[in-house]
């Protein structure tokens, strides 16, 4: 890789500022007689200065190689050789054609000597001569055709130099001074984060309210009265079971750290064994934290209640207070991980932004130290039931962390090379011989076998080449989705007469499985799309990155159309699934960029889908974040009339 934009070539100490990497003097000999020096007029037989110093009008010390040439790293050409300027402010050797001709002659000579050595050595031994190994035989090959490449990263870095995009990491500095980092995969929505923390519920008693912000780093014990006060805030058993059922119907389809049967047996059944619930210290507070978190999510997604019900925040704060009664740092357990994961799920559904990422990091560290499911549990002689329970929880945490890392554009907490945990859910074969599996089983496999690889190769510190991006995108596109999770009309699923209407859970799982793959591809291509739209205004499809324009445009249209379809089917539920709009906002920006390019044939279609996206945000106007998005969107896309006029043939 060459050093670019090296403006002061005279003082540059970089030996690679030359057009060709120059080896040390002891390893190279230019006494071929082929290099024709640039001869200047001489007043005496002794050289006044070397050719390179004369070309640059520098004072030469006449001790060859002179100090100027040594400083620039081109001492091998001093005093008779000189450099000539090439493309991109680079420098190449003069008489380059003669030099390569000489190299070709020597290569041919080496080839003849190798053939002679082969014939002679074959009569003495059946083993190849040490000087005739495959690696050494490549030395004589032409440089640009079959030259050896001991370090593939050098070639990749050259490709990356050409494939750099304008998509950079972002650091958002809020008015309070708080800084937040977002990586290349982060949605545009993330930069609209409010610099406000959620206020504690006014329904809590002051001494209970103060506890919820101490979790999870509180040490020591708290008075038993607080434990009893939290228990007294539990709803009636009928309400608790109703909200739990709503949670499993409207939320657990996505992430489910505890099964409905286990919740009923180990938590609800234990807590409500007496009526009213017992208020002794035998009820572990982390079980209370699990129940309160489920009640909070169930309240948020109860379609008979208004969106963002204050009662949901009340249950959530009680759950945080219950979790703080026993420090999760001192009492690390499966129960604590489940409680934290459910709280994180509430933050996702309830639009609690401030501590979400840090909470996920804590969950990951606890999962490392507690579940030990990242190693095969059979080694530890754990019961089969406990093994499956830990495996299921492990893969839920792994998938949750990986997807949130993708959403924020930050590194994940787990490395696949350190995991040998078996999948908790097996696959089966349907009547047609197709592999079938549940959504959880597919999600876990996609996270490990696809998304983790994309994180490392596409969004790591080294920017990959465009060829690599295209190969990775094809891999994501081809990743297997079982027939039960395919949307009719998408992903190869046939559109036929369905015997029964799919449940809400199946509908959402199908859409999320489709969306995850599409979003991964879109964010891989997004930087190349932005570069092409800006640099090739007249004909973006004619640029080398034209496939990225088509890919990002097609995915944006598909996702907007899918969310619109979901809104028509389940309008009340979709009003509460605001996290889907994180990525719809990115799609809207893409569509807006295309709609302002009237020469593109699909600009009218992009405008139509853009207006559809804005209508979806209008339907979500009850969400404070979407109101902020709407204000920005109307500022960005306000001149829709001008866009229409530019697209109109008249």
Can you spell out the DSSP letters for 212-265? TTTTTS--S---HHHHHHHHHT---HHHHHHHHHHHHHHTTTT--SS-HHHHII
Which percentage of the chain shows pLDDT scores above 70?
66
Cβ contacts of 357 within 8 Å, gap of 6 or more: 404, 408, 410
More confident residue, 426 or 3: 426
Average pLDDT over every residue of 53-59: 86
Average pLDDT over every residue of 119-128: 77
Rounded Cα distance between 502 and 507, Å, is: 6
**Mean pLDDT in the chain?**
75
Q: How confident is the model at residue 555 (pLDDT cuts 50, 70, 90)?
A: very high
Task: State residue 388's pLDDT score.
Answer: 86
Task: State residue 99's pLDDT score.
Answer: 61
Average pLDDT over every residue of 551-567: 92
Task: State residue 502's pLDDT score.
Answer: 86
The two tokens of residue 649 are 């043939």
For residue range 577-628, what is the model confidence (pLDDT) as tens digits? Answer: 877 888 888 899 999 999 988 888 888 999 999 999 988 888 876 666 566 6
Rounded Cα distance between 422 and 373, Å, is: 8
Pair 62, 44: CB distance under 8 Å? no
Average pLDDT over every residue of 11-28: 39
Q: Is residue 322 predicted with pLDDT exceeding 50?
A: yes
Pair 7, 17: CB distance under 8 Å? no
Rg of the chain's alpha carbons, rounded to an integer? 33
For residue range 372-408, what is the model confidence (pLDDT) as tens digits? Answer: 555 555 566 778 888 888 889 999 999 999 998 888 8
Rounded Cα distance between 573 and 301, Å, is: 7
More confident residue, 35 or 354: 354
Task: State residue 171's pLDDT score.
Answer: 43
Identify which of 67-71, 229-233, 298-302, 352-356 has the greatest average pLDDT: 298-302
Q: E strands along 351-456, which residues?
A: 428-429, 435-436
Q: How confident is the model at residue 185 (pLDDT cuts 50, 70, 90)?
A: low
Q: How confident is the model at residue 84 (pLDDT cuts 50, 70, 90)?
A: low
- Helix 640-647 and helix 603-619, axial crossing angle in degrees, nearest 10: 160
Q: How confident is the model at residue 146 (pLDDT cuts 50, 70, 90)?
A: very low
Please indicate, yes or no, whether the overall pTM of this predicted structure exceeds 0.85: no
Rounded Cα distance between 472 and 234, Å, is: 50
More confident residue, 69 or 375: 69
User: For the chain, first and last CA: distance in Å?
Assistant: 51
Q: How confident is the model at residue 501 (pLDDT cuts 50, 70, 90)?
A: confident
Average pLDDT over every residue of 166-193: 48
Task: State residue 484's pLDDT score.
Answer: 92
More confident residue, 149 or 59: 59
Task: State residue 267's pLDDT score.
Answer: 92
Average pLDDT over every residue of 271-284: 72
435 beta partners: 429
Q: Is residue 57 predicted with pLDDT exceeding 80?
A: yes
Q: How confident is the model at residue 311 (pLDDT cuts 50, 70, 90)?
A: very high
Q: Is residue 454 predicted with pLDDT exceeding 90?
A: yes
92 beta partners: 84
Average pLDDT over every residue of 532-549: 87
Identify which of 145-149, 564-568, 581-585 has the greatest average pLDDT: 564-568
Q: How confident is the model at residue 494 (pLDDT cuts 50, 70, 90)?
A: low
Average pLDDT over every residue of 148-173: 46
Identify which of 13-17, 504-508, 542-546 has the greatest average pLDDT: 504-508
Q: How confident is the model at residue 47 (pLDDT cuts 50, 70, 90)?
A: low
Q: How confident is the model at residue 369 (pLDDT cuts 50, 70, 90)?
A: confident
């Amino acid at each position: 890789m060459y050093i670019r934009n090296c403006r002061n070539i005279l003082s540059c100490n970089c030996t690679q500022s030359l057009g060709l990497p120059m080896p040390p003097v002891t390893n190279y000999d230019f006494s071929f007689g082929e290099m024709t020096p640039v001869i200047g007029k001489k007043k005496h037989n002794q050289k006044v200065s070397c050719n390179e110093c004369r070309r640059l009008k520098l004072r030469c010390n006449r001790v060859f190689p002179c100090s100027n040439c040594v400083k620039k790293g081109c001492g091998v050409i001093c005093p008779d050789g000189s450099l000539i300027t090439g493309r991109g402010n680079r420098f190449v050797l003069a008489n380059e054609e003669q030099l390569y001709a000489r190299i070709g002659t020597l290569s041919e000579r080496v080839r003849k000597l190798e053939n002679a050595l082969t014939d002679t050595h074959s009569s003495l031994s059946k083993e190849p001569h040490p000087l005739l190994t495959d690696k050494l035989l490549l030395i004589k090959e032409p440089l640009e055709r079959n030259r050896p490449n001991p370090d593939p990263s050098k070639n990749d870095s050259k490709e990356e130099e050409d494939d750099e995009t304008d998509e950079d990491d972002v650091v958002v500095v809020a008015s309070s001074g708080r800084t937040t980092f977002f990586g290349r995969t982060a949605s545009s929505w993330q930069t609209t984060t409010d610099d406000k923390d959620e206020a504690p519920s006014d329904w809590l008693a002051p001494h209970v309210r103060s506890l919820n912000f101490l979790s999870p780093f509180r040490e020591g014990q708290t008075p038993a009265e607080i434990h009893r006060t939290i228990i007294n805030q539990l709803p009636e058993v009928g309400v608790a079971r109703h909200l739990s059922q709503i949670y499993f119907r409207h939320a657990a389809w996505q992430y489910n750290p505890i099964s409905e049967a286990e919740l009923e047996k180990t938590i609800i059944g234990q807590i409500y064994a007496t009526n009213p619930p017992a208020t002794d210290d035998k009820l572990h507070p982390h079980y209370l934290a699990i129940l309160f978190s489920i009640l909070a999510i169930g309240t948020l997604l109860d379609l008979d209640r208004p969106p963002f019900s204050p009662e949901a925040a009340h249950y959530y704060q009680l759950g945080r207070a219950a979790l703080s009664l026993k420090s999760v740092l001192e009492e690390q357990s499966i129960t604590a991980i489940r409680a934290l994961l459910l709280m994180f799920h509430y933050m996702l559904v309830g639009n609690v932004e401030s501590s979400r990422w840090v909470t996920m990091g804590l969950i990951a560290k606890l999962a490392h130290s507690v579940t030990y499911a990242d190693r095969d549990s059979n080694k530890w002689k754990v019961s089969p039931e406990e093994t499956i329970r830990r495996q299921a929880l492990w893969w839920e945490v792994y998938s949750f962390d990986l997807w949130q890392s993708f959403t924020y554009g930050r590194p994940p907490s787990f490395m696949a090379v350190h995991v040998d945990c078996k999948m908790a859910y097996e696959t089966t074969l349907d009547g047609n011989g197709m592999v079938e599996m549940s959504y959880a089983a597919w999600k876990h496999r996609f996270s490990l076998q696809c998304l983790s690889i994309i994180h490392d190769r596409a969004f790591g510190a080294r920017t990959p080449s465009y060829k690599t991006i295209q190969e990775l995108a094809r891999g994501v596109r081809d990743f297997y989705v079982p027939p039960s999770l395919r949307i009719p009309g998408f992903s190869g699923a046939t559109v036929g007469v369905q015997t029964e209407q799919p449940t809400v859970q199946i509908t959402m799982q199908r859409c999320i499985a489709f969306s995850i793959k599409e979003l991964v591809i879109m964010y891989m291509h997004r930087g190349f799309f932005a570069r092409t739209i800006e640099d090739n205004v007249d004909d973006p499809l004619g640029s080398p990155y034209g496939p990225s324009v088509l890919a990002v445009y097609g995915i944006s249209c598909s996702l907007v159309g899918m969310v619109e379809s979901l809104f028509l089917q389940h309008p009340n539920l979709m009003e509460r699934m605001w996290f889907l709009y994180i990525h719809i906002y990115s799609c809207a920006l893409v569509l807006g960029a295309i709609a302002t390019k009237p020469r593109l044939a699909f600009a009218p279609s992009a405008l139509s889908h853009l207006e559809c996206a804005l209508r979806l945000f209008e339907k979500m106007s009850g969400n404070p974040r979407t109101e902020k998005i709407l204000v920005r969107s109307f500022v960005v896309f306000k001149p829709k009339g001008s866009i229409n006029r530019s697209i109109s043939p008249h």
